[in-house]
Chains A and B, each alone.
Chain A
Amino acid sequence: GDSVTQMEGPVTLSEEAFLTINCTYTATGYPSLFWYVQYPGEGLQLLLKATKADDKGSNKGFEATYRKETTSFHLEKGSVQVSDSAVYFCALSECGGSQGNLIFGKGTKLSVKP
């Protein structure tokens, strides 16, 4: 079945460092891809998305490009801030699959130190 694999954390970076969180997926159809963020004590929030190959999602300085050839959707940010400390989830939603069913990765915890 469809699945999402993302790098295990925790990831600890210094402020202004470059961030990459890897995410790869397996899907039989034409999925849409997402990154969700969960700040401490809060629920998940949609960070960015891409709905077809070569689309780039971007928000709050974060970017991810839908790479069909490598089945990847890596999250990047050029300069992280302490306020970016959170758990990041990569997810996909199938085209024609269980409607409303997002398949999530296990999450990657990011800690940014001043």
Chain B
Amino acid sequence: ETGVTQTPRHLVMGMTNKKSLKCEQHLGHNAMYWYKQSAKKPLELMFVYSLEERVENNSVPSRFSPECPNSSHLFLHLHTLQPEDSALYLCASSQDQGLAGLYEKLFFGSGTQLSVL
């Protein structure tokens, strides 16, 4: 148990559906991240939130919309996804984002396995 909880564990959705992934951490961390893990591809950083403000968006399509209402919760809202968006979506947190020597201490959740039909 890493202290980072993701729900749901599995999600199947159609291309016209709207769904949300949820991530929760009780570690007192100030930064949270969404990563995408596709088969046979490197892990891809999607969004970084630090102290509840979005810091980085690596050119992620607008059909993915993150929301961070507070430093303990992170959502990824999904709308009109494509089959190629099927992947494992991992949430992570760290104590701080941007302090030298601490950025590597990421705590990952177990992920949400998403299938888009």
Report whether A102 and B104 are in contact in the complex, using a CB–CB cutoff of 8 Å: yes
Report whether B101 and A93 are in contact in the complex, using a CB–CB cutoff of 8 Å: no
Residues A4 and B110 in contact in the complex (CB < 8 Å), given A32-B104, A100-B56, A100-B103: no
State in angstroms the CA–CA spacing of A99 and B2 once bound together. Answer: 22
Report whether B103 and A99 are in contact in the complex, using a CB–CB cutoff of 8 Å: yes
Our pick among A42, A43, A95, A101 for the contact of B56 (Cβ within 8 Å) is: A101
Given the complex, which residues of B lie within 8 Å of A88, measured CB to CB?
Answer: none
Q: Count residues of chain B with CB under 8 A from any CB of chain A.
A: 28
Report whether A93 and B109 are in contact in the complex, using a CB–CB cutoff of 8 Å: no
Whole-angstrom distance from the CB of B6 to the nearest CB of chain A? 8
The main secondary structure of chain A at its interface with chain B is strand
Report whether B2 and A104 are in contact in the complex, using a CB–CB cutoff of 8 Å: no
Q: What class of interface size applies to chain A in its complex with B?
A: 20 to 34
Our pick among B2, B40, B50 for the contact of A43 (Cβ within 8 Å) is: B2
Instruction: Report the nearest B residue to A98, measured CB to CB.
Output: B56
Given the complex, which residues of A lie within 8 Å of B56, measured CB to CB?
Answer: 98, 100-101
Residues of chain B having any CB pair with chain A under 8 Å: 2, 4, 31, 33, 40-43, 45, 48, 50, 55-56, 90, 92, 94, 97-98, 100-101, 103-106, 108-111
Residues of chain A having any CB pair with chain B under 8 Å: 4, 32, 34, 41-46, 49, 51, 89, 91, 93, 95, 98-106
